[in-house]
Amino acid sequence: MSSGAARRVGAVVLRHAYLMRGSPARIVPLFAWVAVDIVLWGFLTRYLNGLSAARFDFVPVFLGAVLLWDFFGRVMHGVAMAFFEDVWSRNFLNLFASPLSVPEYVMGLVASSVATSLVGLAGMLVLATAAFGLDFLAYGVALVPFLLVLFAFGIALGIVSVALVLRLGPAAEWLIWPVPALLAPFAGVFYPLATLPEWMRAVSWALPPSYVFEGMRSVVAGQGVPVGDLATALGLCGVYLVLAAWFFVGTFRHARREGLIARYSAETAG
Amino acid sequence: MAEPRRVLEVEGLAKRFGETDAVAGVGFHVDRGEIVGLLGPNGAGKTTTIDMVLGVLEPTAGSVRVDGLDLRTHRGPALARTGFAAVYAQLPGNLTVRQNLAIFALLYGVPDALPRIDEVLRQFDLTRFEHAKCGVLSSGEQARVALAKALLHRPRLLLLDEPTASLDPAVARDIRSWIRDYVAGTQAGVLWTSHNMREVEEVCSRVLFLSRGRILLEGDPRALPAIHGKRTLEELFIAVAREPLTLEAT
């Protein structure tokens, strides 16, 4: 990347940093909802640990899963939120009348999402460790590819979400927010994929997070890291990222052909 | 190497939306140190033309060159030489004036950005508002911020789409004065759209009348009315809006 491109990506990130810095309403959600999730699932796992005759530790299975799944949703929504800030402030004309290119803009959205997601993840880790004794390091080195897969798939879905809103108009945002909840049953966040009926399992194997949660359970059960499965998940993420970029570029071209970029707002698009 | 005399060259520029020709193959140029008025009634194709010159709208046909650079093949460098302000393109209201300028200084690669931001803040009498969010400023103050953003990187081409619309006469006069000073000091070229014909007569050295996506008339705004049998530029504007075919024949 040239220094000019890096500077322009930095400008997009700086815009979102300024927004976060000056707005408690944007900072609080980074921690608030996940804190509620951690507390709810933390007490649930504590209760289940008490019931379990085999002294099975539910903390790394359930609480770890909540944490990882929330990270994935946060990455995806982070990309979409950064984009929506420009929709709501009707900033597209000024942005794209500057030397900023489309890939630079998307990279800026992704970098903004990475920063906010990592801050949120750090906050969640502190809470889950301090309050419920979650040992995130128990996943070992597999934690890195786990997070990488969730991160890459979150980015891919975030880019597709942004493209959908660009194509269908801001009213389509209601399509974006529930996506993680819709995927969760297929991704086997809280249960093994073997629990699912066959048709659901077929969908699950197409979703990279499924491999992460199966792998996480394998590590907790002491069966080691399923390296082949993680490689498959990373490969799938690569495919989804390429498809997402292709979809976004096509949508942006359509928007530029139709004049949507110049007058993109809640009133004109859709 | 000598700098190109023309900061903007537009050839055969066309935009078709479905069956409608919004812009039907226009060609014009803006020279260094020249302020050119792009005039015409609502829907004539002025903003569509400016959007295509800014690269935010893909033309159906034609080419745009900024300072000798083809916009299609050198988009980044061409837009780095272009400044833009419009009454409908205000900066994000949830950031302060200084924050907005800092972001656009990065986007345009302004060298020594901080002193330059201080300079435009002083120039446009915005220093006391530098930490105010743009959304709470009056329309006149927001217009000054938009202009400060447009001039931040010292562009060679300035595109101003109705920069004084809805502003009080004092602010409008200040803006005209700043633009003329900038052009005199830098020899930049300006493409200026306006519905205020007195303003156009005062500021522009040449005007282009657009009607139904085509350039109908071109010339000195002070001489054109008499050539077409009208007393004032405003009368000529109304004639263009109501009887474009009659004028075409003259």
Q: Residues with Cβ < 8 Å from A51, sequence gap 6 or more?
A: none
User: What φ, ψ does residue B159 adopt, rounded to 5°?
Assistant: -110, 120
Give the span between the Cα atoms of B77 and B59, in whole angstroms. 19
Domain coverage including residue A39: 3-258
Q: Residues with Cβ < 8 Å from A248, sequence gap 6 or more?
A: A102, A106, A159, A160, A162, A163, A166
Residue A177 lies in a domain: yes
Residue A153 lies in a domain: yes
Residue A270 lies in a domain: no
Residue A91 lies in a domain: yes
Give pLDDT, residue B24. Answer: 92
**Model confidence at A174, in pLDDT bands (50, 70, 90)?**
confident
Residue A265 lies in a domain: no
3-state secondary structure of B41: coil
Give pLDDT, residue A226. Answer: 84
Residue type, A126: V
The encoded tokens of residue A174 equal: 């209601």
The encoded tokens of residue A140 equal: 């070992």
Give pLDDT, residue B55. Answer: 93
Q: A101 CB near a chain B CB, below 8 Å? A: yes
Name the average pLDDT for chain A: 87
CA–chain centroid gap for A88, Å, is 21
Give pLDDT, residue A153. Answer: 96
Least confident stretch, A66-80, A148-162, A234-248, B103-117: A66-80
Residue A268 lies in a domain: no
Residue A143 pLDDT greater than 70, yes or no = yes
Give the span between the Cα atoms of A67 and A120, in whole angstroms. 10
Give pLDDT, residue A21. Answer: 86
Are the beta carbons of B100 and B92 closer than 8 angstroms?
yes
Q: A144 CB near a chain B CB, below 8 Å? A: no
Residue A263 lies in a domain: no
Structural domains of chain A, count: 1
Comparing alpha-carbon positions, the chain B residue that sits nearest to A94 is: B89
B contacts of A86 (beta carbons < 8 Å): 92
| Mean pLDDT across A137-165 | 88
The structure's pTM equals 0.89
Show the domains of chain B with their CATH numbers: 6-81+156-249 (3.40.50.300), 89-154 (no CATH)
Q: A257 CB near a chain B CB, below 8 Å? A: yes
To the nearest whole angstrom, how far is the Cα of B244 from the nearest Cα of chain A? 26
User: What φ, ψ does residue B111 adopt, rounded to 5°?
Assistant: -70, 150
Under DSSP, the state recorded for A100 is -
Taking the CA of residue A168 as centre, how many other CA atoms within 13 Å lie in the half-sphere pointing to its CB?
12
Distances (CA, A) of B218 to A259, B76, B212, B222, B248: 27, 30, 15, 12, 12
Q: A268 CB near a chain B CB, below 8 Å? A: no
Give pLDDT, residue B164. Answer: 86
Give the span between the Cα atoms of A16 and A22, in whole angstroms. 10
For an interface test with A, the pick among B81, B103, B114, B161 (most A C-beta atoms closer than 10 Å) comes out as: B103
Give pLDDT, residue A267. Answer: 46
Give pLDDT, residue B249. Answer: 54
Give pLDDT, residue A58. Answer: 78
Stronger pLDDT, A1 or A258, i.e. the higher one: A258
**Model confidence at A60, in pLDDT bands (50, 70, 90)?**
confident
Which helix H or strand E contains B61, and what residues bound it?
strand B61-66
Neighbours of B119 (CB within 10 A): 14
B contacts of A98 (beta carbons < 8 Å): 79, 104, 107-108
The encoded tokens of residue A210 equal: 């499924």
Give pLDDT, residue A269. Answer: 42
Residue A186 pLDDT greater than 60, yes or no = yes
Label the pairing between strands B189-193 and B157-161. Answer: parallel
Give pLDDT, residue B247. Answer: 60
Neighbours of B77 (CB within 10 A): 15
Question: B-contacting residues of A 58-97, CB under 8 Å?
Answer: 85-86, 89-97
Stronger pLDDT, A45 or A232, i.e. the higher one: A232
Under DSSP, the state recorded for A63 is I
| Consecutive 10-residue averages of pLDDT for chain B (250 residues) | 83 93 94 95 91 95 96 95 91 94 96 95 93 92 93 96 85 90 94 92 93 91 90 88 64
Give the span between the Cα atoms of A169 and B165, in whole angstroms. 28
Percent of chain A surpassing pLDDT 90: 44
Length of chain A equals 270
**Model confidence at A245, in pLDDT bands (50, 70, 90)?**
very high
| Of A262, A200, A126, A110, residue with least CA distance to B15 | A262
The encoded tokens of residue B30 equal: 């803006």
| Mean pLDDT across A5-30 | 90
